[in-house]
Structure formats: structure tokens, C-alpha cells
Amino acid sequence: MSKYIGPICRLCRTEGVKLFLKGEKCSSDKCPMVRRPFFPGMHGRERRRKLTEYGLRLREKQKLRKIYGMREKQFERFFEMATKQAGMTGDNFLKLLERRLDNVVFRLGFAPSRRAARQIVNHGHVLVNGKKVTTPSYLVDPGDVIEIRPQSKELEMFKNISSSESTISVPSWLEVDIENLRGRVVSLPEIDQIDTARIVNLQLVVEFYSR
């Protein structure tokens, strides 16, 4: 599947729910999902979709994939990894997605969105345990230290973060030193610590891949 390069807010309007793809900006009253809470397109207001059982499962899967900004092939690979772990597949799947380095950079408040965090990782601005990692899908483990490399801290986008109070709510499985742009993985995430679980029906996602 090719990379989506269209308007980000269109993805939320397609799913009919805020996916917070722009981070905090999605909380603004100017968010298109607030001003135009209907399907995108010329006939969006009149469009009513009666989804089949397959359609319902597909939409939940697409919703989760869009939140983490992943391509289909990689998304499927993570699901396969989850099926091989003990416990509930849906929970395992979401926990793996949360452990992605780009997601952790976003959760620590070093980037305004997961898309921006992915770019930051790709451009080599992030160190994990003192070593540069440029793979957004890298899975962090408890005890890992994630930080913005010293040279990159001089960039304006990072200066603004370190010089102001972070408004990001950092989950309890992470801890952050925002002044020094450094964070640590305290433990593996639990399902009740992941806000995405309140947006997506994980059981429907599992059913989609298990059909």
C-alpha cells in the first residue's frame, strides 16, 4: 500500500471519529472534525453507510492502522507477532504498537504527532541507550533510555520543547526529563495505560484478521 499524502483530517472524517493524528491540535475548535463532522466529499452530508459485518471489522482495523500511521504490510506483521505471544491477541497487538520507537518519542512529548516523531527518528535525531536508531518500528524494552542526540538539541524545534513546560500527558510506563529531552521506559505498557484502547474495538480488529 502506498503512503498517504493527502489531508490528515480527512482520515478522521472518513472514520467518523477523532483519531488525534495531529496531536494536541486536534483538541482545537478549529479541527475539521468539529466544524465538519461528516464524511468528506461533495456529498458527504448525505452519505449514509450501512456497514456489513466485514465492513465494521475493516473500519476498526483501518482506524487503528491510521492512528499509528503504518502501512498495511507492516501492520499485518505486528499482528502476526501478537498472535505468537501468550494472552489476548488484541491486547498484545496494541502493546506492541505502543512500544514502537516513533510512538514512544511522541508519548514522551518530543514530537507533536506520531507522523512528526517518525520523521524525527528517520532523520537520526534519536538515541536509544546512547546509540542512534533510525528505525521507527524499533521496539523499546524496560530500562531503555530514549533521548534527542546532543547535536539535534540545538535545532529550533527541540529548543522550543526544552524551554517550555510540556503539556503532554506522559503515560505511567514512561518517565521523562523534558528539560534534557531524555526519557526512560519504566515498564512494558499495560492495556489500561493506553488511551487508544478507548477509541478502537480491538476484538473487531482481531476478528478481521482471523476471518
- What's the 3-state SS for 6-17? CCHHHHHHHHCC
Angle (CA) 33 35 36, round 5°? 65
Contact by Cβ (8 Å): 109, 161: yes
d(CA 122, CA 166): 23
d(CA 87, CA 34): 38
Q: For 119-162, write each residue's pLDDT tens digit.
A: 999 999 999 999 999 999 999 999 999 999 999 999 998 988 86
Q: Give the CATH number of domain 100-185; options: 3.30.450.40, 3.30.70.360, 3.40.50.2300, 3.10.290.10.
A: 3.10.290.10
Q: How confident is the model at residue 1 (pLDDT cuts 50, 70, 90)?
A: very low
Question: Domain 8-97+194-209 has what CATH class?
Answer: mainly alpha
Query: What pTM was computed for the model?
Result: 0.80
